[in-house]
Amino acid sequence: MPARILCAMKLILAPMAALSHSGLRRLIAIFGEPDEYFSEMIHAPSTVSGGGFEKWYFRTAPSPEKLVWQITSPAAEPAAKAVPVLLKHGGIGIDLNMGCAAPQIVSTGAGFAWMKKPLTETAELVRLVKKAVLEYEKTKEAPRLQPIRLSVKLRLGETDDYAFLLRFCKMLTDEGAELITLHPRTRKQSYSRSCRHEYTARFAADLPVPVYGSGDIGSAEAALGFNTKYKCAGWMIGRAAVQKPWIFYAVRAAENAAQPFTSDLPHIDLLKTAADFLHFLKEEQPPEFHLTRAKRFFNFYCDNCTFAHHIKTKILNCPSCDAMYARLEEYFGEVPQDRFTATLA
């Protein structure tokens, strides 16, 4: 793979439950790293209590200097207590999840629930976490090149009430949030409609802190299009980075190419890439996680195939990771033209 191409667009791996772990991050790094990696959503109370599997969430590979820890919590106190537990492993920031709209998360008082609580209660969360970040900074013997950053990821709200969103985010920044990531859908929309990135650009212009946009980037072409049309500080890529772990390389290459979408770039061996993922998964995660996390990965990765539903059904019903690989190998034996895909596809 050619050397990393520098570009002006800031790129970030989005936080995704059971996906943005160190195994996937190592796979992405084979092709070309983003500017930042956000961890998968980490449950603060479990982090503080020290459950048997929590240590696997603390792995920082491949680049601790790019890693932002995302915390989810139903209450302020465990969120604040989780800060030093995470930062002692490395990382450049703490991100508070206020955007997850999954009913099982919201019903506990976590995720999007923080956008529905009284502003004073949410302000207390941000204030306590910010205090924990500052206190951790004081414990370090040598000063960091950059202070630990506190950020928040959120949605538009229950409705697209822009005035409410601005008031809410003014409170966040007043309490110490230094960056906001906006996923411009309401709680109920989930993925049922396109992101409204006109809100992202407007938001970025109106807030005193940097704003990242998140949602609907499925290709290098889409990334360049959004970056041209909607100005903000950076772009998160989530599900597309699971389907196409090379997408960050592709975006950078496309941005720097004279003819971005006809560039003669390397093709990807989908079978080898799958093997690399399973190898990293086994190195970075406990055996109890292997099957479920492999299924999460292949649920998106199989969309690279012409007969995606066919191979996805076979793989998701496999009893082991080895069986998953065998089914994929069989598929490429039957459909050999699918095995190699263009980098910018």
pLDDT digits (tens, 9 = 90+) for 240-264: 999 999 999 999 988 887 555 544 5
pLDDT at 54 over 70: yes
Mean pLDDT (whole number) for 17-33: 97
Q: What percent of the chain clears pLDDT 70, i.e. is strictly above it?
A: 92
| DSSP-derived 3-state class of residue 14 | coil
> Quick one: pLDDT at residue 263?
47
Query: Does 125 fall in a domain?
Result: yes
Taking the C-alpha atoms of residue 283 and residue 276, their distance in angstroms, rounded to an integer, is 11
pLDDT at 23 over 60: yes
Strand partners, 234: 212
Domain span including residue 199: 11-262
Do 251 and 277 share a domain, yes or no? Answer: no
Do 196 and 290 share a domain, yes or no? Answer: no
Residue that finishes a domain, picked among 243, 262, 281: 262
pLDDT at 113 over 50: yes
pLDDT band per the 50, 70, 90 thresholds, residue 267: confident
Residue that finishes a domain, picked among 236, 262, 288: 262
The conformation of residue 148, written as its DSSP 8-state character, comes to: P
pLDDT band per the 50, 70, 90 thresholds, residue 7: very low
Residue that finishes a domain, picked among 218, 241, 262: 262
Do 220 and 273 share a domain, yes or no? Answer: no
Q: Within 10 Å of residue 267's Cβ, how many Cβ atoms?
A: 11
- Containing H/E element for 324? helix 321-334
